Amino acid sequence: MNERACSAAVLAATAVLVLAPRAAAAAEAPAAAVPQPPVATAEIRAEAARAAAAPGTLATLSRFFAREGKVAAAAARPRVEGEAIPVHYLSPDFVAGKPGAPVARLEFLASKAVASDGQRAALWTAKTGAGWQVVNIATGDDEFRYASLGAEKLPGGVVFREPQIDAWYVAGGGRVLPLDEDAGRAVGGGVSLAAYHERVVRAYGDKLPGSAYAKSGRAGGYSAEAGSAGAGGAVPLSAGPGPAVPLAAGAGVLAGVLVVGAGAVARARRSG
| pLDDT tens-digit series, residues 212-237 | 766 666 554 322 232 322 222 222 22
Distance between CA 157 and CA 200 in Å, rounded? 19
CA distances from 176 to 31, 153, 195, 212, 260 (A): 35, 11, 9, 29, 37
Helix, strand, or coil (residue 73): helix
Evaluate if pTM is beyond 0.85. Answer: no
List CB contacts of 55: < 8 A, sequence separation 6 or more. Answer: none
Q: How confident is the model at residue 181 (pLDDT cuts 50, 70, 90)?
A: very high
Distance between CA 197 and CA 62 in Å, rounded? 42
List CB contacts of 187: < 8 A, sequence separation 6 or more. Answer: 169, 176, 177, 178, 195, 196, 199
Is the pLDDT confidence value at 10 over 80? no
CA distances from 90 to 101, 103, 206, 214 (A): 11, 6, 15, 17
Distance between CA 77 and CA 118 in Å, rounded? 10
- Note whether 33 and 107 are within 8 A (CB): no
Q: Which range, of 51-55, 188-192, 217-221, 236-240, averages the lowest pLDDT? A: 236-240
Distance between CA 183 and CA 178 in Å, rounded? 5
The more confidently predicted of residues 74 and 264 is 74
Q: Given the DSSP bridges, would you call strands 79-90 and 158-162 parallel, antiparallel or unpaired?
A: parallel
